[in-house]
Structure 1
Amino acid sequence: MTFKKILFLFACLFALPLMLFAQQKNDSLQVKEFSLQALEELLMAHHPVIKQAQLLSETAKAQILTSLGGFDPALRSSYQEKYFGNTTYYSNWNNELKIPLWLAGADLKIDYDRNVGPFTNSQYATSPRGLSGVGISVPLGQGLLIDSRRNTLRQARAMLGYAEAEQVKQINTIWFTAVQDYWDWYYAFRQYELLREGVGLAEKRFQAISMQTVLGDAPSIDSVEAAITVQERQIELEKYKVDLQNSRLLLSNHLWNESRQPVELPDYAIPATVDSKKMQPNPEILNNLLALAQEQHPDLLKLESRNLQLQIEESYRKELLKPRLNLEG
């Protein structure tokens, strides 16, 4: 094996740990103290489900724009001509601009016709300058109160309220689960810290009793009992360490970076210290939240939007039972 190959192998061996460290660095958050506010910022900014939920209202708004297309003006034009043997038999040019109006399902019409030639039907013949006119069509029966285009638009607007309520519901569900996992991690960390302190105290007690046993101030059985206590607490500490690790992994399920890649909370991260006084719920705030939930709960808003959609559809179906009668002028 040549010297260059040996040098290349050593370079690869040294580079491999660096590559693994870089990969681990990209897959984990670089934080020491992780607060609930930091969790909220990461969640709202990068969580894929929340990003997807934010598209619900945008989709509903796009549906409204689509339904507004039913009120766009429509231009129709046709041209017919017969020319044979250096003779123009007829030349018919008909144009119509139809403008839907919001009121009563009426349509405003603007016409321009130019029908000339010796073989043009006298009923439709015009002067060489053509003939223009303005008219309006108003439904007196079916379509007066609601028609297809107004039904579609109202349904789309009601759907916007439904989509916004569904968006809030999905975000609340994700946030509620994330907060639960955060406090589970917080509780597991505090338990682990208390038990680790207990292990330290048990070890100090064992050392003190062992010293007394050596000096003859305490029986040997006391040192045995103290040693058993240390072992029991160490075993319990390992169990709490596993619980802490599991709670940290559960919390990491909610963490994503700017590239929409999952990231993991590092082992050395600790929850932010919380003032116990600030954790006490304010009764006034709780009452306001309960009152707000009774009026603005996403499920209630979804039911209201759905009920509105059904009412609109019912009105439209009843309108279809009326006879068609249009007034044109």
Structure 2
Amino acid sequence: MKFFSRSAFGLSVIALFALATSTFANEAELSPETVLPEVQLKEEDQPAGQTLVGVLTFQQFLTQVRANHPKLYSADLDRRIAGAKLLEKQGAFDPGISLETDYLRYNDFSNRGKVSKALDNDLSLGWLTRSGARIATGGRYNTGDVKPPLYPTGSTGEYFLSARMPLLRGFRINEKVAMEMQAEIGIPLADAMFNQSRLSTLLQASYGYWNWVYAHRKVGVSDNLLALATVRYQAIQERVKAGDLPPIDEVEAGQEVQRRAGLLVRSQREYERQLFNLSRYLWEPGGQPAALPEKRAIPEMLPTPDALEEADWMEARKLALETRPELKALNLQKEMVEVDLRQAKNLKLPVLDLFATPGYDTGNESIGPTIKAGVVLTVPLRQRTANGMIAAAEFRTQKLDLEQRLVLQQILLEVDDSVSAINAAYKQYLAANKEYEFAKELEKGERQRFEFGDSTLFLVNQRERSSAEAAMRLLDLEVEYHQTIANFKAVSGQL
């Protein structure tokens, strides 16, 4: 009979394990891969299949930065960490199997000096629900001179189902539920932080791109300026030899060649500096730095500066309020504080739990149905923990409200300022373009006068320098314009 009893209890262990694996199959399969798809890289952020070749347009450049830059990979890992944190907090609701076997040899309380023996076996499958209820099912097998608070069971054990349900404190909101809820909010919060990092990185990359493009154009201006001086120097040398010009003109022409050669070296150095700065944003899909782009990668045709329409301005303000990640992050943080506040208010309630453990005793010397039921009531005399949590949550909410007002104003001011900067850069560009045209006309006229002997080499050099300076200012304003456009797109959440 004992062998049969133990065999029956062993079979119940196997059956209980099978119940656990079938009932909680979905939870057993839960893994980071089932949680993290919500925070994977978006389609437009996916790594490019190969390094861009040929002309590197602005949009191609941003695509490569968005896909491969390590800073954005790092920010994406924070999103994945948030997904893993959610998985961690969900573990509080995982089921568990408990098996306890005790052997007792003790002094019999009813007959002192007599040895009593007992064997206690308890197997249960339990889990916590998100409503706060604790559920368990299992069986127990107690034999021998059972010592209180234990009680004997029939020869094939007792099988039970138990439940403890909170009616006030802990009902639907408790520490574990609150942590899971906040972990769920943490995923879109990490996504907002990723987007904020993305905007910042792409804006800095945009500045680097336009500095690189126009640094090359400035090299062209310096190179053309040197070429003019070199050709003139050779011509003046011939005229000096022929006696048409005094030797001092040859010296002055040679001096101008060296001056412009130095300017070309400075322009080339500035181009190399901007090229190295640009390389900070160019990476291969595998995480290796990309090769430095060649000069032929610089686009020939560039967008012409233009003023921004008021309709674009108003649309940008609307988009900024809808898409800026700072506002989303603040709203999500307020949701987290709201969870803390709900939990704190629940803590002020007394503990009122109902519990019941119906069972069935089986085998020889069994009694059939069994029951244990009751109520637990605990009334706190002071509420300092709950009151402190409520006060802290309310203060955090007030702080976030103030921050939200500041961020709202800051975002709108940033959009307005960027629009003003674009239109100002456009007007300056128009003025600089006219200045450059006039400077070229003066240069052309002075050169013609020099050829007819009505001017001096000094004035020709001055006119050419003025033209080059006007060209440089024009290029600087084009850089400023394109950078203000990038800033406008960033502050309105469109970059």
> Does TM-score exceed 0.5, indicating one fold?
yes
Matching residue of 2:323 = 296
**Deviation of residue 165 (structure 1)?**
1.4
Counterpart amino acid of residue 128 in structure 1: S
Rate the CA distance shift 1:40–1:81 in 2: closer, same or farther, 3 A: same
Q: CA deviation at 1:62?
A: 0.4
Question: How far apart in 2 are the matches of 1:117 and 1:326?
Answer: 34
Alignment of 1:128-147 (within 5 A): 128-147=155-174
Following TM superposition, by how much is the alpha carbon of 1:30 offset from its aligned partner in structure 2, in angstroms? Answer: 10
Identify the match of residue 100 of structure 1 among 128, 137, 151.
128
Match of 2:224 in 1: 197
What amino acid is aligned across from residue 138 of structure 1 in structure 2?
M
- 1:180 counterpart = 2:207: yes
Take 1:98 and 1:110, find their aligned partners in 2: how far apart are those partners? 6
Task: Find the aligned partners of 1:117 and 1:75 in 2 and give their Cα distance.
Answer: 25
Q: Deviations over 1:187-215 (max 9, x none)?
A: 11011112212222333344445555556
What does 1:1-329 align with in structure 2 at a 5 Å threshold? 33-82=55-104, 89-102=117-130, 104-119=131-146, 124-211=151-238, 225-257=252-284, 260-262=287-289, 265=292, 268-277=294-303, 288-329=315-356
Name which of structure 1's ranges 218-227 and 173-182 shifts more when overlaid on structure 2. Answer: 218-227
Q: CA deviation at 1:143?
A: 0.6
Shift of 1:321: 2.3
One-letter identity of the residue aligned with 1:101: T
Q: Deviations over 1:76-112 (max 9, x none)?
A: 222223589xx9943322233223223x322222242
DSSP-derived class of the 2:351 partner: coil
Deviations 1:139-184 (Å, cap 9, x if unpaired)?
Answer: 1121114101101101111222221111222222222212211110
Amino acid at match of 1:60: A
Counterpart amino acid of 2:274? S
Amino acid in structure 2 at the alignment position of 1:307? K
Cα-to-partner distance string for 1:15-73 (whole Å, 9 max, x where unaligned): xxxxxxxxxxxxxx996654435544543444322221110011010000000011111
- Worse-matched range after superposition: 288-297 or 163-172: 288-297
- In the other structure, the counterpart of 1:8 is none
SS in 1 for 2:194: helix
Match for 2:295: what amino acid? A
CA 43–124 in structure 1, closer or farther in 2 if over 3 Å, else same: same
Gaps in structure 2 of 5+ consecutive residues = 1-50, 107-114, 357-495
Return the letter of the residue paired with 1:309.
M
Letter in 2 for 1:78: E
CA contact (8 A) 1:98 1:109 kept: yes
RMSD of aligned residue pairs (Cα, Å): 3.4
* Deviation by residue 1:273-304 (Cα, 9 ceiling, x = unmatched): 15334775885777555433212212222222
Aligned residues: 297
Report how far residue 125 of structure 1 moved: 2.5
Instruction: Give CA deviations for 1:219-273 in whole Å, capped at 9, x if unaligned.
Output: 666655544443332222222112112111211233344664445526x534421
Structure 1: 5+ residue stretches without partners = 1-28
Give 1:319 shift. Answer: 1.9
Taking structure 2 as the reference length, the TM-score comes to 0.53
Structure 2 CA distance for partners of 1:55 and 1:223, relative to 1, 3 Å: same
Distance 2:303 2:295 in 1: 24
SS in 2 for 1:273: coil
Indicate if the aligned counterparts of 1:186 and 1:271 stay in contact, CA closer than 8 A.
Answer: no
TM-score, structure 1 length as denominator?
0.76
* Counterpart Cα distance in 1 of 2:61 and 2:271: 18
**Distance in structure 2 (CA, Å) of the matches to 1:134 and 1:153:** 27
Does the residue aligned with 2:163 lie in a helix, a strand or coil? strand
Structure of higher RCO (CA pairs closer than 8 Å, 6+ residues apart):
1
Matched position secondary structure for 1:134: strand
Q: What amino acid maps onto 2:338 in structure 1?
A: Q
